[in-house]
Amino acid sequence: MSFFTRPRKHVAILAAILATAPAVPVAAPLTLAAAIELAERASPALRAAAHEVAAQDGALAQAGALPNPELELLREGQRRDTRTTTAQLNIPFELGGKRAARVALARSEGELARRELSALRAELRADTAAAFHELVLAAERQRLAGEMAALAARALDAAARRVQAGKVSPVDETRARIAEANARIELLQAGRALQEARVRLAALWGGEPAALEPAAPEAPPPVLPLAQLAARLDAAPAMRRALARVAQREAEARLARTQRTPDLTLVLGTRREGQDAGNQAVVGLSVPLPLFNRNEGALRQALSRVDQAREQQAGEGARLRADLAQAHARLLAARDEAALVRGEILPGARSAWQAASRGFEAGKFGFLEVLEAQRTLFQSQLQALQADAEIQRAAAEIARLTGASAFQENP
């Protein structure tokens, strides 16, 4: 039975795809799934991790190789009638399960490389999702700023007409001009923030920032309970990586333990003494005596690293649970905030602004009431957008921690 297998085809295919995949054209509008695909195809970190997986397959094949025999030729003396010639073959035999332990270590290191690749992919997806939703927020903020700038321009026109008609003080027109200028400044700032968000997202795959137009945001489905998400942590990429590290350290300890058993060398050969003498068989055994080096220090080192890896795994589990609880709490709070803003605050702010605008045109209210209502409406709309963005940021963090979505799947 062979102690090693051929390199896995899916690993070779993965490495080839990551190394040579052609660039994917950016669809308009850009969806989150398309952004993640672009980032994965262009990620140097993922390509490097895929090469490490392929390298570990080669290490596994090498670990199962048997030690080579040694051919030895000896000649004693110079004269033909008295010299002795010996030809012998030294065949080493590994004892104590060294080869099996070496293969097990190579397998564990290959598994660790695959888990590292999975963890890197999860982190890249979370980073891409966060950057994508920042772009969505920036695009929505610019749209909102454009609407508010248009409203401010109409309010300025209304104030100017009323001043010309002598119905209000010129101070109201001045206030309207200041409000309109502030709205244009907000629009410029929103445009700059949108460009920065495009650059951050496009940097994940080296794309062209100006071509990025995100798809319209969709309302997220219901959030999964914390207990259901916590049950997925054992299969999370970071936890599997920590478990693979423990298995790799345990395999190192087993290999170090086998090194305490000396190997056996079988000697087979033939010897000729003098010119006319016949050949004599040479048979022998060679065994190192473990008097001074019993590999005890290396074994203690390996066992300590096993304990270290187990402690790191426990710490990783505690960190994941704490981070998941915090992200889930943020997600629920942002969801409730978004529902409150859209259900109560926004309708009231919009109604107040409409009433103030009509009242100002009818001469019932001053421009201060219009300005305050307009500012409240803008802040309420921006608050709703920020709550939506926080929902998506928390969901991306949960996906990074658990390796799965934070939302219920649509039937």
How many whole angstroms separate alpha carbon 54 and alpha carbon 109?
11
Judge whether 126 lies within some domain: yes
- CA angle, residues 393, 397, 400, in degrees to nearest 5: 140
Residue whose token pair is 């940021």: 393
Nearest-10 Cα torsion for 101, 104, 106, 110 = -160
Q: What is the pLDDT of residue 9?
A: 45
Half-sphere exposure of residue 171: CA atoms within 13 angstroms, side-chain side: 4
Amino acid at 276: D
CATH of the domain at 358: 1.20.1600.10
Residue 394 tokens read as 């928390």
How many whole angstroms separate alpha carbon 61 and alpha carbon 56?
9
- φ and ψ of 81, to 5 deg: -80, -10
Count other C-beta atoms under 10 Å from residue 280's C-beta: 12
3 state SS for 95-152:
CCCHHHHHHHHHHHHHHHHHHHHHHHHHHHHHHHHHHHHHHHHHHHHHHHHHHHHHHH
Check residue 167 and report its DSSP letter. S
Q: What is the pLDDT of residue 277?
A: 67
Q: What is the pLDDT of residue 115?
A: 94
Judge whether 297 lies within some domain: no
Q: Assess contact for 403 and 237: CB atoms under 8 A.
A: yes
Query: What domain range is 143 assigned to?
Result: 30-78+85-273+280-288+317-402
Kindly report the pTM of this predicted structure.
Answer: 0.78
What residues contact residue 164 under an 8 Å CB cut-off, 6+ apart?
none
Judge whether 50 lies within some domain: yes
How many whole angstroms separate alpha carbon 202 and alpha carbon 191?
16
Judge whether 17 lies within some domain: no
How many domains does the chain fold into?
A: 1
Q: Assess contact for 395 and 229: CB atoms under 8 A.
A: no
Nearest-10 Cα torsion for 128, 132, 137, 143 = 160
How many whole angstroms separate alpha carbon 349 and alpha carbon 328?
30
Q: What is the pLDDT of residue 160?
A: 85
Residue 310 tokens read as 């187990």
pLDDT per residue as tens, the chain (411 positions):
343 344 444 444 354 444 444 444 555 688 888 888 999 998 888 999 999 999 999 999 999 999 999 999 988 877 777 788 889 999 999 999 999 999 999 999 999 999 999 999 999 998 998 899 899 889 989 998 998 888 888 888 888 887 887 777 788 788 888 988 998 999 999 999 999 999 999 888 887 877 777 877 666 778 888 999 999 898 899 999 999 999 999 999 999 999 999 999 999 999 888 766 678 888 999 999 888 888 899 999 999 999 999 999 999 999 999 999 999 999 999 999 999 999 999 999 999 988 888 887 777 777 778 788 888 988 898 899 889 888 988 988 898 898 877 776 654
Q: Assess contact for 186 and 149: CB atoms under 8 A.
A: yes
pLDDT tens digits, 322-377: 999 999 999 999 999 999 999 999 999 999 988 888 887 777 777 778 788 888 98
Q: What is the pLDDT of residue 3?
A: 38
- CA angle, residues 122, 226, 228, in degrees to nearest 5: 75
Query: Which neighbouring-strand residues pair with 272?
Result: 85, 279
pLDDT tens digits, 82-119: 788 889 999 999 999 999 999 999 999 999 999 999 99
